Structure 1
Amino acid sequence: MDDMILTGKVAIVTGSGRGLGLAYAEALAAAGAKVVVNDVDPAAVEAAVAEIGDAATGVVAAVGDTASADQLVAAAVERFGRLDILVTNAGILRDKVLWKMSDDDFDDVIRVHLRGTFTCARAAAVRMREQGEGGRIILISSPAGQRGNFGQTNYAAAKAGIAAMARTWALELARGGITVNAVVPVAATEMTRTIPAFAPVIDEAERTGQPFPAWLRRDEGLGTVEDVTGLIVHLASDAAKDITGQAIGIGGDRLALWSHPTEKAVAFADGGWSAAAIAESWASGVGSDPETYGIPAPKPPAA
């Protein structure tokens, strides 16, 4: 499809020195885009640019502050003349349970994930609006941001905020022809390797070179980093010009549209609700079918 070709487009992918970010950058370049690769590790940036070739340039910077965001946009414009696509992938983990999480643990993750997404999207939006030809902003969220996850107060809060920003910016940037979506990826990375049910399967696949089993790819929606890239390329393309404000999950063989938060059950009381009235009616009323919370544990098939 011609509208899936990204020739003439220029993309920034934050946190693209390795893992999912590198896969996104490689896929965008393979589709014809020029790409600004970004990471805090100079060696990772150098290796990624060498691997992609002339279609890439690199910026070593820690995402979070305005100066880094401006540096990324400037690199795209100075090297390739414009900016059409932004993928905000950069992130770090500082996992701890609530009572052990320090201020720095919280602030560091929020700075990179949430503030970094904000500053980079703001800088990109300014440039795209100046160009007057629309654009694509693709924010990377997480199942933890949709459902919560044990030990990830900071990460889950940031990823939930990223989904909320996608909805807000889709409204604000619509007139400029700029779409904004949140991608919710699940892939075999160093982070998913820490999940006990996944680790041995990932290790075995890497050892043998065999694909992941069907239960993992379909039931859990977990595959390789390359399995996620088709959605990134699609959302970056002209074929996705009418998709905006969505949270879209992808991983393995699974593609999913996440629902936005909505009222599940409603009840009314003339004159309002007292604490006693809520207590009396809760279990048989709006609270009769409470929502689940947390990412469900993987369920490998019985041996």
Structure 2
Amino acid sequence: MAENLAGKVAIVTGSGRGLGLAYAQELAARGAAVVVNDVDAAVAGGAVASITEAGGRAVAVAAPVGPTETAKALVAAAVENFGRLDILVTNAGVLRDKSLLKMTDEDFDTVIHVHLRGTFTCVREAWAYFKEHGVPGRIIAVGSPTGQRGNFGQTNYAAAKAGIVGMVRTWALEMTRAGVTANAVIPVAATAMTRTVPFFQKAVQAEERGEPMPEFFRKELGFGTAADVAPLVAFLASDAAARVTGQAIGVGGDRLQLWSHPEPVATEYRDGGWDFQTLVEKFEALFGDRLQPVGEKFPDLPADLQPEPAGTK
């Protein structure tokens, strides 16, 4: 494998397992030294071992993402162990899924704190290092289709992931003169969350057996494994992506997508502005057939990929 990240140093938050671990392993395989992060020290240590046993370089920082102290510790670990910092991947996250009336303040605050504040504090600390040392660094934040379109029962998660993409666009503006890029990856892959969704059952079962996922999932849904997402993270971390910034890029299975920025889909003008009665009379005719959909729209599963009834083996 070409070591096109040789000499680079990366931090990957939430990289003890799952997607984050795949990102850390891919960056290490490409030659980067990696600071692994997880709240569980044993899990973080296992991730480091998987990298070093494969010939890579890695150290662990066991700490919850969100507090500024953790962000400072992550950057310090990169500099103290490997002499510099070039890449930050903000992957750490938690779920507290509930419908709106059942969602508590704690459910909301916990998800916002880890995803949104955790991304903010870590990027702020990395950006300070990049700016002070003249490093053309790479910021790679992790979004979600939920943040792009919404999803039932995920008010907190949708808010956090939409906010991350909004911050990325702002950072791209603020950092461009320093040669630093900021992008969001929108992964669609088998994770702890999707493993519990019956719609994806056959795909997850195939992965667990070490078999290729059915083409319907990989092609029609763009749904795959963590290993399908990791190469995009490595690409955005590389010099080859120096002109790519402020973008939200989806990846999963066989599919790669460039998400649009929000743009008006229809514009109308009225001399003197829009009063209430005119809106009542005109809105449906002007915009009724151009209202935008919400949520993910999935095609019907083929008969052979229908989930097994609960309780069957």
TM-score, normalising length: structure 2: 0.94
Distance 1:96 1:111 in 2: 17
Distance 1:151 1:298 in 2: 21
Structure 1 window deviating more from structure 2 (197-206 vs 23-32): it is 197-206
Partner of 1:84: 86
Q: Is the 8 A contact 2:265 2:290 kept in 1?
A: no
SS at match of 1:203: helix
Partner of 1:25: 24
Deviation at 1:13, TM superposition (A): 0.1
Note the 1:109-120 alignment, pairs <5 A. Answer: 109-120=111-122
List runs of 5+ in structure 1 lacking aligned partners: none
Q: Is the 8 A contact 1:59 1:75 kept in 2?
A: yes
Which 4+ runs in 1 deviate beyond 3 A? none
Distance 1:41 1:171 in 2: 35
Deviation at 1:23, TM superposition (A): 0.2
Distance 2:139 2:207 in 1: 33
Distance 1:146 1:301 in 2: 26
Note the 1:182-261 alignment, pairs <5 A. Answer: 182-207=184-209, 209-261=210-262
SS at match of 2:111: helix
Deviation at 1:298, TM superposition (A): 5.1
Structure 1 window deviating more from structure 2 (276-285 vs 153-162): it is 276-285
Structure 1 window deviating more from structure 2 (289-298 vs 42-51): it is 289-298
List runs of 5+ in structure 2 lacking aligned partners: 305-313
Deviation at 1:114, TM superposition (A): 0.1
What amino acid sits opposite 2:20 in the alignment?
A: G
- Give 1:178's match in structure 2, choosing from 177, 180, 184: 180
Q: Is the 8 A contact 2:9 2:33 kept in 1?
A: yes
Partner of 1:45: 44
Q: Is the 8 A contact 1:227 1:252 kept in 2?
A: yes
Deviation at 1:190, TM superposition (A): 1.5
SS at match of 1:282: helix
Partner of 1:14: 13
Deviation at 1:279, TM superposition (A): 1.7
Q: How many residues align?
A: 301
Partner of 1:269: 270
1:173-215 Cα shifts (integer Å, max 9, x gaps) = 01111000000001111211122110233114423x2200111
1:57-77 Cα shifts (integer Å, max 9, x gaps) = 000000001000000000000
TM-score, normalising length: structure 1: 0.97
Q: Is the 8 A contact 2:12 2:91 kept in 1?
A: yes
1:8-58 Cα shifts (integer Å, max 9, x gaps) = 000000000000000000000000000000000111111011111150000
Distance 1:233 1:159 in 2: 21
